[in-house]
Structure 1
Amino acid sequence: MSIGFLRQALNALQQQSRSRTSHRVNQWFKWLSPGLSVKRWLLISVGGVFLASLGLAIWVKLTPIFWLLELLRSFLGVITNILPNYISGPLVLLCGLLLLLWGQTRTVGSITAAFKQQGETELIDVLLAHRRLYRGPKIVVIGGGTGLSTLLRGLKTYSANISAIVTVADDGGSSGRLRQEFGVLPPGDIRNCLAALADEEKLLTELFQYRFRAGDGLTGHSFGNLFLTAMSDITGDLERAVAASSKVLAVRGQVLPATLTDVRLWAELADGRRIEGESNIPKAGGKIVRIGCTPANPLALPAAIKAIKEADYIIIGPGSLYTSLIPNLLVPEIANAIAASKAPRIYVCNIMTQPGETEGYTVADHIKAIDAACGQRRLFDAVMVHKKSPSPQSLIRYAQQNSHPVFLDREDVSLLGRRVVLANVLYEDETGVIRHNPQKLAKVLLRWYSGAHHGK
């Protein structure tokens, strides 16, 4: 029994040792991966050592170097007398390479230990991920609300070159109060996007989304909104505040307000009413026939236009049609830049209709509303639609709020000149709330982009 146990223990130790060795060898070979610029710098370092030695030899008129070489020649002569050159040569070469590898490994190990204080990820894996992300496509995402932050959470695993263009028309809740009291642009949607793109997403999301439940004047405010308001006051405007906050939060990509103009949404309903204010439009309970903003034709943020012009890929949505997506397109320069872009462009349609905004809307109705807001121009080539129906429990829950799955009227969508991208991207939480799954949504969108990009 004891001998068998010892054999098992020895076998386990050998396997564990082989596994560790194999992992370590794999980690070493990763340093030779293309694009890391390690091999060239290593060769340059060796060349530098050689040139420095040569320069020293010339400086001292070669005298010490001559005697050193004579000593080395005598030493090598003794070795070759003992061992033939075809054995001693490779042996000395191997010793030199092992010393070089050992020195480089210890150096990298010391650097890795410093970086791994905050986590267990190997330095080479961090560098490879960084290289991959910053070589990713330049993606511009346009929208607002929960839908935009959900999409960003998935996209940031594929590219760090993300520009989120966010509406600043919100006038409800904490954002609305800060807008009235401090005269700042509403920070709510921007806060959600910053939290979604932050590297330490879980902790920062909890911090930025934290709402005060007590305190005179603090109740109902989120920490993130107060943070951005304070940064706006310190830096002078919301654009600088967001840029400074992005550095503090190690945000992957950039978040840009669509405009720095203090815009107010208005909507005309089918019954003739005119509703003022983004938060009042869904509450009015009528069919929206026209939407606009005051002042009309606000100026776009130059950085947002630059991002659209340089984009490899443009995504519109998901989000509330009239209060999150279209407000961005009411900025004429943004709509013009999207229309002029040659990049693949796609619209992510909502899964469910929204009471007070899109009751009874089909996929084609969503597209027509966007086209109408932009002067009947086609701002996107394809529309992504969720394929499967939600669970019966969720359908009942949403039906009680007069919300239903958005029906795909494929023929009407084709007549509008758009391709349909069908995919299963649904996420339902334990309470039956329906959202897009960030990872699935991003995966489908990047797969479509890859096909559209290579199909050009």
Structure 2
Amino acid sequence: MSRRESSSGRSVPAAPRSGPKVVALGGGHGLAASLSALRHVTDNLTAVVTVADDGGSSGRLRREFGVLPPGDLRQALAALCGDDEWGRTWAEVLQHRFESDGPLAGHAVGNLLIVAMWQRLGAHVTGLDWVARLLGAQGRVLPMCDVPLEITAQVEGLDPNDPTAVRTLRGQSVVAATTGRVLSVALEPANPPACPEALAAIRAADGIVLGPGSWFTSVLVHLLVPELSAVLHEAKGTRVLTLNLAPQAGETRGFSPERHLEVLRAHAPDLRIDVVVAHDAFVADQPALAAAASALGAELVVADVARRDGSPRHDPERLAQVYAKVLGG
């Protein structure tokens, strides 16, 4: 149970959780967007986070200490911080990056804190739970696997002399930035151990939210972990797939909304989705998207869920209104 400090300085239990049990899967900014919205719907929230990042501060810590890459986990924790002074301050501290000419340059404070807890306590989930308690996080953050993963991708269009030639790219940071067309992704190891607590959370969930986020490297990778995929197929909760607001430069450049669904179906042909959420301005052909959603077993919900600043980011309150309707929050 999360604990907070009272005005007398004593640690006190947080309020009991309320609302539907919801699990959100993904990574990076996309998962942070769904968590920020879901916090308006329920206090009973669990994030299941990809562990394939190999770039930046996360990649350096992964290589140096052999740990899970902490960056996506850190962003999820920051998204679950409260809106009070305590929560806002800790969210800013977690995301703060050192600027210097020394070895700490570029490292995020939250990454170092998470790795320190792992070294001190010797367990990924226990360490994350302790960090969440410190922050007063309004939910739980879990890795999708207990080992760091490597993403490989089949990509065409990288050879100007042979545009149909297919090459294998390795590493999340390389795949995410490719100028070619991603055809498929896979994980190494191919049968990694899923986090038991993540499996249990999905089994018990009233609602399961997948996406938005980097489609191949943050969303689809969850479907490539055999144990995780099996639980997602069998889960009783409402499965909600949230599309991005626009194609992502790199791995989904030029993708239509329906192409996103077709790619997901190719990677998990038997997975049933209940609801597909799409931003109205991104839907050029609603009948085509509705047909692609129907092929997954899903109802299509089209709504204005974008921020008003012109950026391709979800507005937490607008997205929360949609989640509340489809999840019963």
Match of 2:213 in 1: 319
In structure 1, how many angstroms separate the alpha carbons of the residues matched to 2:15 and 2:133?
A: 16
Q: Counterpart of 1:281 in 2: which secondary structure?
A: helix
Match of 1:236 in 2: 122
In structure 2, how many angstroms separate the alpha carbons of the residues matched to 1:276 and 1:187?
A: 19
In structure 2, how many angstroms separate the alpha carbons of the residues matched to 1:304 and 1:282?
A: 25
Alpha-carbon distance, 1:214 to partner: 0.9
Match of 1:184 in 2: 67
Per-residue CA deviations over 1:58-117 (Å, capped at 9, x if unaligned) read xxxxxxxxxxxxxxxxxxxxxxxxxxxxxxxxxxxxxxxxxxxxxxxxxxxxxxxx9567
Bigger Rg over Cα = 1
Worse-matched range after superposition: 244-253 or 312-321: 244-253
Q: Counterpart of 1:441 in 2: which secondary structure?
A: helix
Query: Is the 8 Å Cα contact of residues 94 and 110 (structure 2) preserved in structure 1?
Result: yes
2:185 is aligned with 1:291:
yes
Q: Counterpart of 1:248 in 2: which secondary structure?
A: helix
In structure 1, how many angstroms separate the alpha carbons of the residues matched to 2:189 and 2:15?
A: 42
Query: Is the 8 Å Cα contact of residues 371 and 379 (structure 1) preserved in structure 2?
Result: no
Map 1:78-93 → 2, pairs under 5 A: none
Query: Is the 8 Å Cα contact of residues 137 and 313 (structure 1) preserved in structure 2?
Result: yes
Identical aligned residues as a percent:
37
Query: Is the 8 Å Cα contact of residues 428 and 434 (structure 1) preserved in structure 2?
Result: no
Alpha-carbon distance, 1:315 to partner: 0.7
Q: Counterpart of 1:141 in 2: which secondary structure?
A: strand
Match of 1:53 in 2: none
Change (3 A) 1:248 1:406: farther
In structure 2, how many angstroms separate the alpha carbons of the residues matched to 1:297 and 1:407?
A: 38
Match of 1:262 in 2: 148
Runs of 4+ with >6 A deviation: none
In structure 2, how many angstroms separate the alpha carbons of the residues matched to 1:377 and 1:441?
A: 27
Q: What is the TM-score of this pair, normalised by structure 2? A: 0.88
Query: Is the 8 Å Cα contact of residues 386 and 422 (structure 1) preserved in structure 2?
Result: yes
The one-letter amino acid of 1:450's match is G
Change (3 A) 1:185 1:211: same
In structure 1, how many angstroms separate the alpha carbons of the residues matched to 2:305 and 2:320?
A: 9
In structure 1, how many angstroms separate the alpha carbons of the residues matched to 2:87 and 2:246?
A: 27
Per-residue CA deviations over 1:170-202 (Å, capped at 9, x if unaligned) read 001110111111111100010011111122332
In structure 2, how many angstroms separate the alpha carbons of the residues matched to 1:406 and 1:209?
A: 36
Structure that is richer in helix per residue: 1
Alpha-carbon distance, 1:411 to partner: 4.7
The one-letter amino acid of 2:57's match is S
Q: 1:444 aligns with which of 294, 302, 322?
A: 322
Per-residue CA deviations over 1:117-167 (Å, capped at 9, x if unaligned) read 79xxxxxxxx9x945xx2211001011110111221222233221110000
Change (3 A) 1:274 1:407: farther
Q: 2:232 aligns with which of 302, 319, 338?
A: 338
The higher relative CO (CA closer than 8 Å, separation ≥ 6) is in: 2
In structure 2, how many angstroms separate the alpha carbons of the residues matched to 1:414 and 1:251?
A: 34
Match of 2:300 in 1: 420
Q: Counterpart of 1:385 in 2: which secondary structure?
A: strand
In structure 2, how many angstroms separate the alpha carbons of the residues matched to 1:284 and 1:278?
A: 10
Match of 1:66 in 2: none
Structure 2 residue runs of 5 or longer lacking an equivalent are 157-164
In structure 2, how many angstroms separate the alpha carbons of the residues matched to 1:354 and 1:308?
A: 28
Alpha-carbon distance, 1:384 to partner: 0.2
Match of 1:123 in 2: none
Change (3 A) 1:258 1:351: same
Q: What is the TM-score of this pair, normalised by structure 1? A: 0.64
Per-residue CA deviations over 1:215-247 (Å, capped at 9, x if unaligned) read 510111110111111111111132221111111
In structure 1, how many angstroms separate the alpha carbons of the residues matched to 2:71 and 2:285?
A: 30
Q: 2:271 aligns with which of 378, 398, 404?
A: 378
Structure that is richer in strand per residue: 2
Q: Counterpart of 2:208 in 1: which secondary structure?
A: strand
Query: Is the 8 Å Cα contact of residues 154 and 438 (structure 1) preserved in structure 2?
Result: yes
Root-mean-square deviation (CA), in Å?
2.2
The one-letter amino acid of 2:303's match is A
Aligned residues: 309
Q: Counterpart of 1:421 in 2: which secondary structure?
A: strand
Map 1:54-69 → 2, pairs under 5 A: none
Match of 2:255 in 1: 361
In structure 2, how many angstroms separate the alpha carbons of the residues matched to 1:379 and 1:241?
A: 33
Match of 1:310 in 2: 204
Alpha-carbon distance, 1:415 to partner: 4.7
The one-letter amino acid of 1:434's match is P
Per-residue CA deviations over 1:328-362 (Å, capped at 9, x if unaligned) read 22111111111111211110000110122112212
In structure 2, how many angstroms separate the alpha carbons of the residues matched to 1:406 and 1:269?
A: 26
Query: Is the 8 Å Cα contact of residues 169 and 265 (structure 1) preserved in structure 2?
Result: yes
Match of 2:34 in 1: 151
Q: Counterpart of 2:99 in 1: which secondary structure?
A: coil
In structure 2, how many angstroms separate the alpha carbons of the residues matched to 1:165 and 1:322?
A: 16
Map 1:58-137 → 2, pairs under 5 A: 130=15, 134-137=17-20
